[in-house]
Every structure is written in structure tokens, then in C-alpha cells.
Chains A and B, each alone.
Chain A
Amino acid sequence: MDTRFWLIQIFNGISYGALLFLVGSGLSLIFGVMRIINLSHGAFFLLGGYVALSVIWTSGSWVLAIPVAALAVAVLGLVMERIFLRPLGSDPLRQVLLTVGFAFVFQQAALDIWGGDNLDIIPPSSLTQSFVIGGLYLPGYRVFMIGIAAVIGITLWLLMEKTRMGAAIRATVDDAPMARGVGIDTSRISMFIFALGALLAALGGVIGGAFLGIYPGLDFQMLPIAFAVVIIGGMGSLGGAAIGAILVGLADNFGKALFPEISYFTLYAPMALILAARPTGLFGRE
């Protein structure tokens, strides 16, 4: 195996990691702020892809599909949080089962509306050209995925570190009762974060739909991988989610290329070990 093999694999791993960052960062924020294991996160991803398809079919515009899908799913998440999750209290088991219930309902709704076929989101042709850099063929869409993940990541980082809202969110992650004590409306923070998480997952669905396809069952396929990202990176930390996403993206790519027979095992076993040794993840906030 020459250097080119390694470079291509590293590039593929990082670009897949870029997609995982979109899904994982939302899940990580939701977990960090609300301590909720959101099993409908995969459904948000899938619905994002489907809504984008509908927008493309009616308006023909891929660029328009991105914000419409992201906002539509964000509203869905907001409603779900306000009406169902908020009154539920803090029992993790009940929260998990409630979000699973919604995941099944969304799955059925997607099947009824968009059917059971494997669909593809086709991005504009300007994004699908390949570059040749130093003798390496780089698919343009993968470069675009890395770019958009970087833009989103920087935006989120600015939001979290440089705004008042971000400071309130960080305070809630660190110590929710104390945050309430100093007058932060943690209920509104939770609502905002759940909607933001749904938005990021939907964005992942639109971007990833061109790459993975959009089909029934994709939701529960993405879900555990997103959890691996969150756990390895650390819950409630953006930087952690970014590092976790790249690590999982690389591990997934190299696993499948080098030892395909145990490739998923090599993804989830470290996740279990990290949880056992350091429950807050490698870079999680204590």
C-alpha cells in the first residue's frame, strides 16, 4: 500500500467525519444541556433529507432545500420538546422511550409520504466535479462537505463562545441548578438547543443525502454512529464533537479498508471502553 492509498483514505475519513460532525454536534449539545439520550436524532437526519427532496422536486433548487429542510425539522424538534419532553421530568429511561416512540412515528410518516424507495439528492453539478491535486483525485462534493462542516463548526463556536446566549448554554451544561439560580432561563435554553440539534441533524441529512442516499432505515443506521461520535468526543463539547467525528470517520474508513470483518466492532468497542474509563468522553466537560 503506497502513500496514495493512505492519503485517499485519510481524505475520505475526514470528509465522512465532516458529515458525522453535523449529526454528532447536535446530539452532543442536546445531551450536554438536557441530559437526554435523543433516539429520534436519526429520524431528524432522515426527515431533513426527505424534506430537502420535496423542496428540490417542487422548486428545483438545491440551495433553497438546505435552509427549508433544516428549519422545518428544527420546528418539529421545538414542538416535540415543548409539548412532550419538557413536561416529562428527568427520568432518562422515560425520555429514551419517548424519543424512540417519536422515531417510529417519524419513520412511518416518512414511509407514507415519500415511499420506500432508495432516493438520491442530486447536488448542483458545479459541486460534483473532481479536483486533481498532486496526482490525487479528490471528489468535489467531499471537499464541499468538509467546507460546510468547517463553516458550521466555526459558526457554532462563535455562538457558544462569543455571545451571551452561548455563555448561558455553557453555564447550563456545567451546572443547570446553579445556572437557574443566577437567573438563566434553562427551560428556554433547552428548547433552543433541542431545536438547534434537530436543525443540525437535518442539515446533515441534506448534505449526506447526496452521499449516502435517502432510504427507510437510514435513521437507525446513523443513530448509533452519531452516539459513537458523541461519546468518543465527549458530551456537550463542540471541540470534542469535532475531534470525535474525525476519529470515527477515520476509524470507519480504515476499519472497512483494512479489517472489514470487525470494522464495526473497532468502532463501538472503543466507545464502550471510553465510557467505562471516563464517562464524560475524551474531551467532555466535567
Chain B
Amino acid sequence: MTTNTKAVAVIGVVLVIGLIAPHTGSFGVLLITRALVLAILAMSLDILLGFTGLPSLGQAAYLGIGAYLTAILATKYNFGLGSSFWLVIISGCAIGAATAAVFGLLAIRATGVYFLMITLALGQCVWGLAYRWNSVTGGDNGINLPGRPEFGIRLADDVTYFYVVFCFFVASLAMLHVLVRSPFGRSLEGIREREIRMRILGYNTWLHKYIAFIIAGAFGGLAGVLWAHANGHVSPEDLVLTTSVDALLMVVLGGSGTLVGGAIGAAVVVFLREYLSTLVPWWQYALGGVYILIILYLPGGVMSIPVRIRQWRTGPGSPMRKNVALAPH
């Protein structure tokens, strides 16, 4: 597929989701809303993992911080339930970015396994506060939100809220797409492929990675605000280690370094965790199985399937190679 047909395909699929989702029943629309929120989180992680080669094991922290900010503002200060919702959106991005700016100072220097470990530790710091800091976060019970905002339009209606999240998803996808196609995005890819070479070429690779880390944090915070209102409830469960790991799986499952891959992965994970689990008791076998099979047999993710098919049809030894690098060096 050329870049143009790819873009048309993505826009087509997105439009179809926008048209079909409202007719999938109350449970369906809720699931699709959640999948879109997690897709924003997964795309934010893809900026780090797929484009910069930084596998973060703590991305759920930003989701959690955005979600708790929303819940605390709404319950303690009665803020963000009218048109001030937009201010909450902005502050969600800001607090995500600010947290990432602090965490990045510690994490960016590390690479490979050590980057995984340090982001795990930082994610656990945030989880620990959410879990134990009862006076602020409500501890284990979390916080119930009083309801969704209302400003002319009533977001309490699930379909309306779906459209809001849908718009944020499309905007995030577009912004991140522009970002990765920009010279800045290209230099991130250069860092992923060979950091030392970029440094020799005169790039300040630390600063590039740091900025990518902050941008990822900002989108993570945005996802958090939307997540809080999607569920009407925030709890430490939202930012446990498994959520961060799920986000990594989403990116790898869809195809890292593709942005939309993260959205596909989010759809699959939400389907398994929240839909299949209502149907069968053995859904975790399916979830674990997907992890194992993808890692073993499809390391390039769903988005690499067309390339794989073409490779298979043109036979081995063809000069075409997959351009999605999973392994950061």
C-alpha cells in the first residue's frame, strides 16, 4: 500500500467506527469509548516505544494522574463539571507533561532493561500514592465522580460522550501523526535506530528523548481525564502495573512505530478484558495466549501482516524488508 491508500484506509476505518459505534447498544458504545481512550494512551506510548525506542513500563502513571486530577477537582472543588471541563482537559495534559518532565530527568539516561526497570519503579511510586494516600485519593476505594460535565451539551449521555472521546482520539492521532512526520519525529527515529550516530551528527539526543517523554506524558494525562469520565470512577486499579504492561502489549500487538497500531491493540485488549470476560470464565487464557503468540509469531504486530503477506508472495530472498523495527538497539 502506498502512503496515500494507507491514509485513506485509516480515515475510512475511523469514519466507520464513528458511524457504527452509536448503534452498538449501551454496553457496546461504552466499550468503544474506553477502547478509544486507551488507544490515546497506547499512541502516546508508541511515541516512546515505536519511534524513540524507549520501552516504558510505567505509562499507566500518566493515565492515573490525569484521572485522579479530574476526580479530585470534580469532588473536592466542584470544578470541571461545566464548560470548565476544557480547562480540566488542559490541566490534565499539563500535569501529565509536568510529571513526565520530573520522571524524565531520572529515566532518560537509562537504556534497554534499565529503562524498563526505572519506569516500572516510577509507575509504582504513583500507584503507591494512589493506593495509600487516603486523605487525597480515597485509597483502595478510589473516588466516585459526581457525573459527567454539562455545558449546553450533556455528556452524561453515553453516545454524546463517545463523540467527544472520538474527536479527541482523531485529534490526537492527527497531532501525533504530524509530530512523527516532522523533522523532530524523524530525528527520534534516528535515535531509535542508532543513538550514537545521531549524537555524532550533532543532535542533542538526550533533549530529543526528554521532549518525546514529556509529549507522551501529556497525551497520557489527556487519556486519564477522558478515562475518569468514561468510567465515572477512579481507583488504584486504573494504574496498576498490569495497565502499563497492557499498554505495551497494545502497541506491540498493533505494530510499534505505526500509531494506529496502538489503536488496534487497544481495541483487542479491551475486547478481551472487558467483553470476553463477560462471556466466558477462561478469558485470561485468551489474553495470556495473545501475549505469547504475538511475541513468538508476529513481533511486528497486526500492521505488519500486509508486508508479511507480500513477502510470502514474492518469495524469500526478496529485497523488501519490514520497516518496523521492534528491537531498539
Task: Let me know if B118 and A264 touch, CB within 8 A.
Answer: no
Task: Let me know if A268 and B326 touch, CB within 8 A.
Answer: no
Shortest Cβ distance from residue A266 to the other chain B in the assembled complex, whole angstroms: 8
Question: How far is it, in angstroms, between the C-alpha of A227 and the C-alpha of B114 when the chains are bound?
Answer: 12
> Considering only CB atoms, which chain B residue lies closest to A227 in the complex?
B120
Interface assignment of B227: CB less than 8 Å from any CB of chain A: no
Cβ contacts under 8 Å, A35 to chain B? 113
Q: Which of B113-138 contact A (CB under 8 A)?
A: 113-114, 116-118, 120-122, 124-125, 127-129, 131-135
Interface assignment of B290: CB less than 8 Å from any CB of chain A: yes
Shortest Cβ distance from residue B308 to the other chain A in the assembled complex, whole angstroms: 17
Given contacts A39-B245, A265-B129, A268-B121, are A94 and B114 in contact (CB under 8 A)? no
List the 5 closest pairs (A to B, CB-CB), nearest first. Answer: A264-B128, A101-B291, A104-B288, A108-B284, A105-B288
> Considering only CB atoms, which chain B residue lies closest to A111 in the complex?
B284
Q: Mark B98-114, 1 if CB is under 8 A from A, else 0.
A: 00000000110110111
Cβ contacts under 8 Å, A12 to chain B? none
> Considering only CB atoms, which chain A residue lies closest to B285 in the complex?
A108
Q: Mark A91-126, 1 if CB is under 8 A from B, else 0.
A: 111101110111111111001100000000000000
By a beta-carbon cutoff of 8 Å, the part of chain B in contact with chain A is 49, 55, 57, 106-107, 109-110, 112-114, 116-118, 120-122, 124-125, 127-129, 131-135, 240-242, 245, 248-249, 252, 281-285, 287-292, 294-296, 299, 326-328
Residue among B125, B287, B296, B328 facing the most chain A CB atoms (10 A cut-off): B125
Task: Let me know if B296 and A98 touch, CB within 8 A.
Answer: yes
Shortest Cβ distance from residue B22 to the other chain A in the assembled complex, whole angstroms: 32
Majority secondary structure of chain A interface residues (helix, strand, loop or mixed):
helix
> Considering only CB atoms, which chain A residue lies closest to B122 in the complex?
A272
Q: How large is the interface on A (under 10, 10 to 19, 20 to 34, 35 or more residues)?
A: 35 or more
Cβ contacts under 8 Å, A220 to chain B? 240-242
Number of interchain pairs (Cβ within 8 Å): 147
Cβ contacts under 8 Å, B109 to chain A? 276
Cβ contacts under 8 Å, A37 to chain B? 113, 116-117
Cβ contacts under 8 Å, A231 to chain B? 117, 121
Task: Let me know if A108 and B132 touch, CB within 8 A.
Answer: no
Shortest Cβ distance from residue B76 to the other chain A in the assembled complex, whole angstroms: 16
Shortest Cβ distance from residue A219 to the other chain B in the assembled complex, whole angstroms: 10
Interface assignment of A279: CB less than 8 Å from any CB of chain B: yes
Shortest Cβ distance from residue B299 to the other chain A in the assembled complex, whole angstroms: 6
Cβ contacts under 8 Å, A224 to chain B? 120, 124, 241
Sampled A-B contacts (21; CB under 8 Å): A84-B292, A92-B116, A96-B248, A97-B248, A97-B249, A101-B288, A101-B295, A102-B288, A103-B288, A104-B291, A105-B292, A224-B124, A227-B121, A231-B121, A263-B128, A264-B128, A264-B129, A265-B125, A268-B125, A275-B118, A276-B106
Task: Let me know if A268 and B124 touch, CB within 8 A.
Answer: yes
Cβ contacts under 8 Å, B296 to chain A? 84, 88, 98
Given contacts A97-B248, A267-B128, are A273 and B106 in contact (CB under 8 A)? yes
Question: How far is it, in angstroms, between the C-alpha of A275 and the C-alpha of B299 when the chains are bound?
Answer: 29
Question: How far is it, in angstroms, between the C-alpha of A107 and the C-alpha of B135 when the chains are bound?
Answer: 33
Cβ contacts under 8 Å, A105 to chain B? 284-285, 288-289, 292
Question: How far is it, in angstroms, between the C-alpha of A96 and the C-alpha of B245 when the chains are bound?
Answer: 9
Shortest Cβ distance from residue A258 to the other chain B in the assembled complex, whole angstroms: 13
Task: Let me know if A91 and B327 touch, CB within 8 A.
Answer: yes
Cβ contacts under 8 Å, A100 to chain B? 245, 249, 288, 291
Task: Let me know if A262 and B116 touch, CB within 8 A.
Answer: no
Shortest Cβ distance from residue A222 to the other chain B in the assembled complex, whole angstroms: 11
- Beyond the given A88-B295, A268-B124, A273-B106, could you list 19 further A-B residue pairs with CB under 8 A, ordered by the A residue number? A31-B113, A35-B113, A37-B117, A88-B296, A93-B248, A93-B252, A96-B248, A97-B245, A97-B294, A104-B284, A112-B282, A223-B241, A262-B128, A262-B133, A264-B129, A272-B106, A275-B110, A276-B106, A276-B118
